[in-house]
C-alpha cells in the first residue's frame, strides 16, 4: 500500500465553481481529467448543480481505480433518485465502492429542526437498498470543523467513512486539536479521511501554499501513524485555473505518492 493509494480527488462537473468563489479564471476540466493530471487514483464524484448528467459524468471516470458517488450533493441536495442512480451505477461497475453525503449536517432551527439530511433509521434503510447492487457499499459523510459540537454521534454510527474539513483557511491552525475532537466523538470502526481544500472557499481567496503544505504534511504524518485512513483534495474543477497551491499539491503527490504505508 502506497500513500497514493490513500489519496482521493473530490470531483464536480466541469466548471462548477466558475461563479461565486472568486477564482482567477473559468475552469473546463472534467473530474477524470483532473485526477489523471493530479496523479490521484481515486475519485469522489459529487453532484454540484441542478443540471447534472450522471451518465456522462460516470463515463468520464474511465481512469480512476475506485469511485465514490454522491447521494447527497452540494448544499445537501438529495432524494430517492440520487440513491437509485448510485445503486444502478454501482451494479454496473465494481469500482464504485461507496456513496458520499455532502453537506449532510446542519444547524437545527425553528423552521427546520432536522440535524441532517437523513435520520439514522433512514441511513439504515439506504444501506439496505444500496446492497441490492450485489455487494455492500460504504456510507461516506462530510463533517466540518464548525460542526464538531453538534450531536452527530448517532448518525456517525451508521456511516463507514467520515471526511473532515476545515471550512476557513484560518482554522487550519487548530487542525490537530480538531482531529483530536473528531477522534473523541467518532465510533472506533469509522474510517477518517482529511479533507484538504486547495482554495480557501470559506474566505473566497487563494489558499496560501504554506497552509496547503502544513495540512498535507500533517495528514501524511497522521496517515503513517494510523490516525487517518486517507486524504481528499478539493476540487477537480479548480485544477486548470492556474492556482499555485494546486501546482504545489501535484508536485507533493509526485514526491510522496510512492512512499510505502505499513
All structural domains of the chain, each given as residue ranges with its CATH number in brackets, are 4-256 (3.20.20.60)
261 CB-near residues (< 8 Å, 6+ apart): 1, 2, 3, 5, 6, 223, 224
Write down the pLDDT at residue 197. Answer: 98
Write down the pLDDT at residue 110. Answer: 84
Alpha helix (H) residue ranges in the chain: 31-38, 54-59, 80-92, 120-130, 153-156, 175-185, 209-225, 244-256
Write down the pLDDT at residue 160. Answer: 98
162-198 per-residue burial string, b: 16 or more CB within 10 A, e: under 16? bbbbbbebebbeebeebbeebeebbeeebebbbbbbb
Q: Partners of 164 in the beta sheet? A: 143, 194
Q: How far, in Å, CA of 163 to CA of 196, rounded?
A: 10
User: How many Cβ atoms sit within 10 Å of the Cβ of residue 105?
Assistant: 22
Write down the pLDDT at residue 49. Answer: 87
Quick: pLDDT tens for 121-145: 999 999 999 999 999 999 999 999 9
Q: How far, in Å, CA of 7 to CA of 252, rounded?
A: 12
CA angle 67, 179, 226 (to 5 degrees): 65
Residue 9 to residues 43, 66, 98, 162, 188, Cα–Cα distance (Å): 5, 11, 14, 15, 25
Q: Partners of 68 in the beta sheet? A: 44, 98
Q: How far, in Å, CA of 96 to CA of 249, rounded?
A: 25
Write down the pLDDT at residue 79. Answer: 93
The long-range contacts involving 201-204, CB below 8 angstroms and separated by at least 24 positions, are 201/21, 201/167, 202/167, 202/168, 202/169, 202/171, 203/168, 203/169, 203/170, 204/21, 204/22
Given a contact cutoff of 8 angstroms between Cβ atoms, the answer to whether 227 and 220 are in contact is no
Write down the pLDDT at residue 157. Answer: 98
Point out the residues of the chain with pLDDT beneath 70: none
Q: How far apart are the first and last CA of the chain?
A: 7
Alpha helix (H) residue ranges in 98-243: 120-130, 153-156, 175-185, 209-225
Write down the pLDDT at residue 41. Answer: 98
Amino acid at each position: 500500500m502506497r500513500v497514493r493509494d490513500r489519496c482521493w480527488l473530490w470531483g464536480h462537473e466541469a466548471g462548477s465553481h466558475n461563479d461565486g468563489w472568486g477564482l482567477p479564471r473559468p475552469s473546463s476540466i472534467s473530474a477524470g481529467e483532473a485526477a489523471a493530471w493530479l496523479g490521484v487514483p481515486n475519485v469522489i464524484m459529487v453532484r454540484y448543480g441542478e443540471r447534472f448528467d450522471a451518465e456522462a459524468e460516470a463515463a468520464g471516470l474511465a481512469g480512476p481505480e475506485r469511485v465514490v458517488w454522491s447521494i447527497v450533493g452540494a448544499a445537501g441536495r438529495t432524494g430517492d433518485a440520487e440513491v437509485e442512480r448510485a445503486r444502478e451505477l454501482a451494479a454496473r461497475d465494481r469500482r464504485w465502492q461507496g456513496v458520499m453525503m455532502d453537506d449532510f449536517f446542519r444547524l437545527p432551527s425553528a423552521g427546520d429542526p432536522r440535524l441532517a439530511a437523513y435520520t439514522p433509521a433512514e441511513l439504515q434503510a439506504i444501506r439496505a437498498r444500496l446492497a441490492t447492487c450485489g455487494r455492500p457499499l460504504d456510507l461516506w459523510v462530510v463533517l466540518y470543523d464548525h460542526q464538531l459540537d453538534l450531536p452527530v454521534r448517532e448518525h456517525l454510527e451508521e456511516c463507514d467513512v467520515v471526511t473532515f474539513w476545515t471550512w476557513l483557511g484560518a482554522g487550519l491552525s487548530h487542525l490537530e486539536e480538531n482531529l483530536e475532537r473528531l477522534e473523541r466523538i467518532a465510533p472506533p470502526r469509522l474510517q477518517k479521511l482529511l479533507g484538504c481544500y486547495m482554495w480557501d472557499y470559506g474566505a473566497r481567496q487563494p489558499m496560501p501554499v504554506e497552509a496547503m503544505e502544513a495540512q498535507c504534511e500533517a495528514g501524511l504524518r497522521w496517515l503513517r501513524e494510523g490516525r487517518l485512513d486517507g486524504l481528499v483534495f478539493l476540487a477537480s474543477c479548480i485544477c486548470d485555473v492556474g492556482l499555485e497551491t494546486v501546482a504545489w499539491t501535484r508536485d507533493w503527490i509526485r514526491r510522496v505518492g510512492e512512499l510505502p504505508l505499513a
